[in-house]
């Protein structure tokens, strides 16, 4: 572009253009760039830095450029380097030399900081909408299966009976923390950097608060050096995304296990599973597995951007261009994963009979037997030891705790009486009737709470 070449007497080498251009990926910020430029033009006119008529020409031209991009009529020329220069170049074609006034009192450094913050704000709200959708699906499935019991596990060993609804709502809680984290990170994105210039501010009487208000920012940055070189907000987004993907990965792992022949707790809908290329009997949980795998991809973007930023002196450095591919891909991966998981959970078939059948494995009522002794006056450590001996006895006889006779129980403690055999999986769950417990009454209240959260 000869009109901005200035000091340089030759164009960049073609390989350098391809290597340094961000246009192939940052073009997706065109709406943010146009919105920011319109607010900037209005502010320049308001402050008397450019005329009102020039501002109108610029704004009409910017809207025309945006319309061209919206309608796939825009030629993204890689030699224009980035979305900012691509829009400015096309604006010059449309409105003529007045286009050069748009860049008054701003640098691409504060311009890209603005666009990236605006993109991140929009991304956060999009992710939160997707989180809510998945949470609603979890609530729906929990409500449909509110009376189903299954083994709860620790160390992947059967531990205690829990309600399936309680298990599903555990993921609701994880996602709610994700929602809240994104809400909090929004505050760091919601700070307006335009007016910071290249690094030192601007030598014009700008009204930065006006621009912030026009663009819906709640505050303006307070240090120009920091403003153009800060990508904490992008790193924070990636951190929140990584945590959310971790939660999806845990859910994916359970679905993979539960859909196996060994568990057979669920069956994936055909539309969310794949066949084997060689074994005709197989139905693979590939969608869940891919969600699990894509978690590492998002982690990589977080670590990559942290590494990019760790050695940069103030202020802006071109290394920071690497923020956008990480941010964009992590956002796309997270949104797609949340959407896919919502569909997968919504269409999944739970198998309550298999879940309840598994309650008879692993001596899952042992803790309840120990609690029975405690409630009859025995210290818990002694009750724990006696119950362990009972389990060993049952194993040696090939029995379950439920099939041991009262006489066998009383060999280990005379505190066992006729009501010993009233211990059951349902009674076990019902006994956990405290806030956060798996008792049916508590789970009903948890469901009501969850519904209120998503409704608000």
List, for residues 122-151, the tens digit of each pLDDT value.
Answer: 999 999 999 999 999 999 999 999 999 999
β-bridge pairing 274-275 and 191-192: unpaired
Q: Would you list the DSSP string of 345-408?
A: HHH-EE-HHHHHHHTTSTTTTHHHHHHHHHHTT--HHHHHHHHHHHHHHHHHHT--GGGS-HHH
Question: pLDDT tens digits, residue range 311-342?
Answer: 999 999 999 999 999 999 999 999 999 999 99
Residue 155 has pLDDT above 60, yes or no: yes
Six-digit token string for 98: 């007045």
Per-chain mean pLDDT for the chain: 95
Please, what CATH class does the domain formed by 2-104 belong to? mainly alpha
Classified by CATH at the fold level, domain 109-357 comes out as Fumarase C; Chain A, domain 2 (1.20.200)
Residue 440 has pLDDT above 80, yes or no: yes
Q: Are 113 and 193 in contact (CB under 8 A)?
A: yes
3-state secondary structure of 130: helix
pLDDT for residue 3: 47
Block residue for tokens 């502010």: 43
Question: pLDDT tens digits, residue range 352-396?
Answer: 999 999 998 889 999 999 999 999 999 999 999 999 999 999 999
**CA atoms of 334 and 341, how far apart (whole Å):** 10
pLDDT for residue 279: 84
User: Which among 155, 271, 277, 396 is annotated as catalytic?
Assistant: 155
Give kind and range of the element (H or E) at residue 311. Answer: none
The pLDDT-based confidence of 10 (bands split at 50, 70, 90) is confident
pLDDT for residue 168: 98
**Domain boundaries in the chain?**
2-104, 109-357, 360-455
Six-digit token string for 285: 């949980």
pTM for this predicted structure: 0.93
The pLDDT-based confidence of 5 (bands split at 50, 70, 90) is low
Question: pLDDT tens digits, residue range 214-242?
Answer: 999 999 999 999 999 999 999 999 999 99
Region 420-426 average pLDDT? 90
Contacts of 234 (CB under 8 A, 6+ apart): 116, 120, 305, 323, 326, 327
Residues 442, 443, 446, 447, Cα dihedral to 10°: -140
The pLDDT-based confidence of 2 (bands split at 50, 70, 90) is very low
Q: What angle do CA 257, 258, 264 make, to 5 degrees?
A: 125
Centre a 10 Å sphere on the Cβ of residue 301 and count the other Cβ atoms it contains.
25
Q: Are 65 and 31 in contact (CB under 8 A)?
A: no
Region 269-276 average pLDDT? 89
β-bridge pairing 219-220 and 283-284: unpaired
User: Which among 51, 276, 339, 349 is annotated as catalytic?
Assistant: 276
Whether residue 155 lies in the annotated active site? yes
Six-digit token string for 336: 């797609």
pLDDT for residue 1: 40
What is the distance of C-alpha 152 from the center of its chain?
A: 26
Closest residue by Cα to residue 346 from 126, 133, 130, 148: 133
The pLDDT-based confidence of 105 (bands split at 50, 70, 90) is very high
Please, what CATH class does the domain formed by 360-455 belong to? mainly alpha
Closest residue by Cα to residue 172 from 220, 134, 225, 229: 134
Q: Are 107 and 53 in contact (CB under 8 A)?
A: no
pLDDT for residue 13: 86
Whether residue 358 lies in the annotated active site? no
**CA atoms of 214 and 36, how far apart (whole Å):** 9
């Amino acid at each position: 572009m000869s009109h901005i070449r200035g000091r340089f007497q030759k164009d960049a080498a073609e390989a350098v253009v391809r290597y340094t251009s961000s246009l192939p990926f940052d073009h997706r910020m065109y709406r943010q760039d146009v919105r920011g430029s319109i607010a900037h033009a209005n502010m320049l006119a308001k402050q008397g830095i450019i005329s009102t008529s020039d501002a109108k020409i610029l704004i009409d031209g910017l809207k025309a450029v945006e319309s061209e991009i919206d309608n796939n009529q825009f030629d993204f020329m890689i030699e224009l380097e980035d979305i900012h220069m691509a829009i400015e170049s096309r604006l010059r074609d449309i409105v003529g030399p007045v286009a050069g006034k748009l860049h008054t009192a701003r640098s691409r450094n504060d311009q890209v900081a603005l666009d990236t913050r605006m993109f991140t704000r929009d991304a956060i709200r999009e992710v939160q909408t997707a989180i809510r959708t998945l949470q609603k699906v979890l609530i729906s499935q929990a409500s449909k299966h509110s009376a189903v019991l299954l083994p709860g596990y620790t160390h992947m060993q059967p531990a205690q009976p829990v309600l399936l609804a309680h298990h599903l709502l555990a993921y609701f809680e994880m996602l709610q923390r994700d929602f809240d984290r994104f809400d909090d990170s929004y505050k760091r994105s919601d700070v307006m950097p335009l007016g910071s210039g290249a690094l030192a501010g601007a030598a014009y009487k700008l009204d930065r608060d006006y621009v912030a208000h026009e663009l819906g920012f709640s505050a303006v940055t307070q240090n120009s050096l920091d403003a153009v070189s800060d990508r904490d907000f992008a790193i924070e987004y990636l951190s929140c995304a990584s945590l959310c993907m971790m939660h999806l990965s845990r859910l994916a792992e359970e679905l993979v296990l539960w859909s196996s022949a060994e568990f057979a707790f669920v069956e994936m809908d055909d539309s969310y599973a794949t066949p084997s290329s060689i074994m005709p009997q197989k139905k693979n949980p590939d969608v869940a597995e891919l969600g699990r795998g894509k978690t590492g991809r998002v982690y990589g973007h977080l670590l990559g951007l942290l590494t990019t930023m760790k050695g940069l002196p103030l202020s802006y450095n071109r290394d920071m261009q690497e923020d956008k591919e990480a941010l964009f891909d992590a956002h796309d991966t997270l949104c797609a994963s949340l959407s896919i998981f919502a569909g997968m959970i919504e269409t999944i078939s739970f198998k309550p009979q298999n879940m309840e059948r598994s309650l008879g494995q692993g001596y899952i009522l042992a803790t309840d037997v120990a609690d029975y002794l405690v409630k009859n006056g025995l210290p818990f450590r002694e009750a724990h030891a006696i119950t362990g001996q009972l389990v060993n006895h049952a194993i040696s006889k090939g029995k379950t705790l439920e099939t041991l006779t009262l006489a066998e129980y009383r060999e280990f403690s005379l505190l066992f009486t006729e009501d010993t055999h009233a211990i059951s999986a349902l009674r076990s769950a019902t006994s956990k009737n405290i806030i956060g417990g798996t008792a049916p009454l508590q789970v009903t209240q948890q469901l009501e709470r969850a519904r209120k959260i998503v409704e608000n």
